[in-house]
Structure 1
């Protein structure tokens, strides 16, 4: 199938897990992996799409997770937020090296390192063609980066939240265990909730549903998938109102 050349989305929010940056490594950041992902983002930006990113911190926090056993939940969550800041800096650095202009905005104050999240400033950056990387989740413990993606997507007026995974969509069963599993091309929010498909955590999912903000689940490891998604090709699974 020939990839459509014209994007159907003007502004998107890409939700990247920290684990997506690991490649085949046990934890940390795989440089080849992050460079490949940034290349796909650059291709989308070149099409005129405004891109914001929310990134997780599981790849870095995984390296210290053993030491967090028994730790106060709020303290552990703040450590995870700091891990997302580290990932955001690495992602922005890779973007800048590939010719993009990236700005990191943090939900917690670390002004010597990154600028604080201010909605009007984020909108200005997007309108200028810069990629905005949102770090530190929502800035609050007990809320996931999925919730941060839903929140920031709604705040910036994104037309679509893209949940990047290692699987190319939502399936009727685990495709790694059941070869007969088939991919949903689209689902309504109510259908996904009824079938308990676990696309995002409940808070994030409810926010997207209430704001009528569609979610596209797709594979970030599949070459060219991001570009096909923004051009409306049959890629991944669309969850909509």
Structure 2
């Protein structure tokens, strides 16, 4: 089983569209839409959210993403009724980008906390990453050198677009490592996309921490496989 994801939106069409997009990148993940009111209007429905959480209850937990403030309130209300609240986590993340990153992390086998971290990591490029080993600021690294590094040439035709960025960020978010890719936070889908790295570009990966070697190998494996793209 994998972690499920629940999308709470004021619009049924937005929820369904976001789920359709994320499903292209995570075909084995249960992504459930809870958008709009029960009678098809703009708004949120406690009953819809509770029904989605009920469908996710038999799995390895679920991460909830919501679009606006009252959707968050509806999700929080629904969480009060679940039997195992520790299995259900509400992510503070942009709906679409967070959903894509969370879905990729879930597809890769991350636990519920790792999936939530993947979603929240897309809030924007990190200005500082502090672990006792490094500080990342405006693309520069100070302090002790990285534990592991790697250089990998992009071979897929489209280069670093949304799907590769989501795969990298989603996987790295679940590892015990601080990682930069060409100087930006490797766990941030948004930051990776700002690189605008095309085919033939080289990604320089630096990693610190217990899973540093695994992190570098993870990025390298994705790049060398062309992210499963032509």
Where on the TM-score scale, by shorter chain, does this alignment land: which range?
Answer: 0.3 to 0.5
**Relative contact order, higher structure (CA 8 A, sep 6+):** 1
TM-score, with structure 2 as normaliser? 0.35
TM-score, normalising length from structure 1?
0.34
